[in-house]
Amino acid sequence: MNCDARSLLRGELADQFAKWGVPAYRVTQLLDWLYQKRATGWEQMSNLPKSLRERLAAGLSLINLDVVRRQGARDTTQKFLWRLPDGAMVESVLIPANPALYSDASDRQTLCVSTQVGCAYGCKFCASGLDGWKRNLSVEEIVGQILAVERLSESDSSSSSSSSSLSSSEKLNDEEATSTLSARASSRTITNLVFMGMGEPLANYTNLLKALRILNAPWGVGIGARKITISTSGLVPQIRKLADEPEQFRLAISLHGATDEVRNRIMPVNRKYPLAELTAACEYYQERKSKMITLEYILIAGVNDDLDQVAPLANLARRLFAKVNLIPYNAVEGLDWHRPSDDQCLQFADSLKKSGVTATLRLEKGGDIDAACGQLRLKTEKELANQ
Ligand code: SAH
Ligand code: SF4
């Protein structure tokens, strides 16, 4: 099987072009078509010679994600359900600016990205793991989520600027294409990424890292490493490995319990990597990436919302210089876990803040669009199965 154009780093493409005797500036043109103009087919790349396009088409694939469902309005959270080339489904969620989360700018849009079909880690509260793990996403399927969302958002607003539509850029000469590229590069729809969609990103480490490099590179999508957050349920060896990578990616730990007793009850991964090991790996990360860790803590009624959990949680957060995101549990059909009352959530947050920890609490519900990751896919698959 051919590898995909969107799975290759600039250097890899340059090597291939050199072998073909194609001049290096053609690599820049190709990357421009892939990541700035977000082309969906070789034939659109009008400033590449036909012979090169034919060669590329014969040697590389160029997959596109099909959107099966799209929910939500332009200025609210939008969910995209994708069908991948083999028919598997994953989702991405576009979240408009929320200053309480991950960063501070208010004009940003964050995309929540999936990294696997299903999940092998089987956290007891989560929809993504309900049907087990199917497969890892490829590099191009990870990168493709960002490009496809941008393409769809762009076609929403294509009437506002003719220079941003693909059909007009097809007619541009090299010089014009370059100026369009610089205009567009500064106005990407997506400014931040969180790897909190379906799957455990660190269990798909190799593809994740390559996708991250394409998303981060100035020749690629160009999103700064500090605007990219990778969420993990606590894969200790991979956290250490990520700490040794040169980039300053942010790390979110799905903690959900500040003691082994609570974590063992809801997250099987804790039996393999108990809190002491997880904390040590996070300290290692923190030493190398200073203040880049967030602790995610879903509040589940009667499981981890008792105020006696605040002290161990605060200790951990202080030790890691981490802030804490408190998220009231989002009900999953078929699972018997519940969200605590707003009052209980507020008391928990208050008490945590009084212990000197930076904490945020999102009380607004995920709304009608199945906001917790994995839920839209599950629902659609059930509906399709019942047809
Ligand atoms: N596997 C990774 C990333 C994907 S899960 C991880 O676990 O970190 C993304 C986040 O959604 C995790 O923090 C997860 O615990 C949380 N989550 C899963 N089910 C949820 C639910 N029903 N309500 C609220 N958050 C949920
Ligand atoms: Fe997998 Fe994360 Fe869901 Fe756990 S919370 S089952 S690791 S996706």
DSSP letters of 148-204? HHHHHHHHHTGGG-GGGSHHHHTT--HHHHHHHHHHHHTT-S--EEEE-SSS-GGGG
- pLDDT of 186 > 80? The answer is no
Position 379 scores a pLDDT of 57
pLDDT tens by residue, 135-181 = 999 999 999 999 999 999 887 776 444 333 333 333 344 444 444 44
Structural element, H or E, at residue 51: helix 50-59
Q: Is residue 373 annotated as a catalytic residue, yes or no?
A: yes
Q: Does 232 sit in the ligand 1 pocket, CB within 6 Å?
A: yes
**What CATH code is carried by the domain that includes residue 40?**
1.10.150.530
Q: What is the pTM of this model?
A: 0.89
Number of domains in the chain: 2
Is residue 173 domain-resident?
no
Q: Of 61, 82, 106, which residue is a domain's last?
A: 61
Mean pLDDT over the full length of the chain: 87
Shortest-distance ligand to the CA of residue 270: 2
Closest ligand 2 atom to the C-alpha of 120?
1
pLDDT tens by residue, 285-307 = 999 998 789 999 999 999 999 99
Using CA of residue 44, residue 47, residue 53, residue 57, what is the dihedral sign? negative
- pLDDT band, residue 363 (cuts 50/70/90): confident
**Which listed residue (119, 126, 345, 373) is catalytic?**
373
> Are 258 and 331 contained in the same domain?
yes
> Are 36 and 73 contained in the same domain?
no
Is residue 170 domain-resident?
no
> Are 335 and 360 contained in the same domain?
yes
* Dist. CA 4–CA 380, nearest whole Å: 28
What is the residue range of 55's domain?
A: 3-61
Q: Does 102 sit in the ligand 1 pocket, CB within 6 Å?
A: no
- Higher per-residue confidence, 74 vs 12: 12
Closest ligand 1 atom to the C-alpha of 198?
4
Instruction: Quote the ligand 2 centre to 59 CA distance (angstroms).
Output: 36
> Are 232 and 215 contained in the same domain?
yes
pLDDT > 70 in the chain, percent: 83
Task: Give the residue-averaged pLDDT of 238-246.
Answer: 98
Pairing of strands 133-136, 192-195: unpaired
Residues 6+ apart with CB under 8 A from 204: 115, 116, 136, 137
Q: Of 12, 43, 61, which residue is a domain's last?
A: 61
Nearest to 194 by CA among 163, 153, 232: 232
**What CATH code is carried by the domain that includes residue 359?**
3.20.20.70
Is residue 175 domain-resident?
no
> Are 50 and 89 contained in the same domain?
no
Output DSSP code: residue 134: E
> Are 332 and 355 contained in the same domain?
yes
> Are 30 and 127 contained in the same domain?
no
Is residue 36 domain-resident?
yes
> Are 19 and 98 contained in the same domain?
no
pLDDT tens by residue, 112-137 = 999 999 999 999 999 888 889 999 99
Instruction: Quote the ligand 1 centre to 196 CA distance (angstroms).
Output: 7
Strands ordered across the beta sheet of 359-361: 66-71, 78-83, 89-96, 109-112, 192-195, 228-232, 250-254, 293-299, 323-328, 359-361
**Which listed residue (91, 140, 141, 150) is catalytic?**
91
Q: Does 110 sit in the ligand 2 pocket, CB within 6 Å?
A: no
- pLDDT band, residue 73 (cuts 50/70/90): confident
> Are 214 and 338 contained in the same domain?
yes
- Higher per-residue confidence, 366 vs 36: 36
Q: Is residue 282 annotated as a catalytic residue, yes or no?
A: no
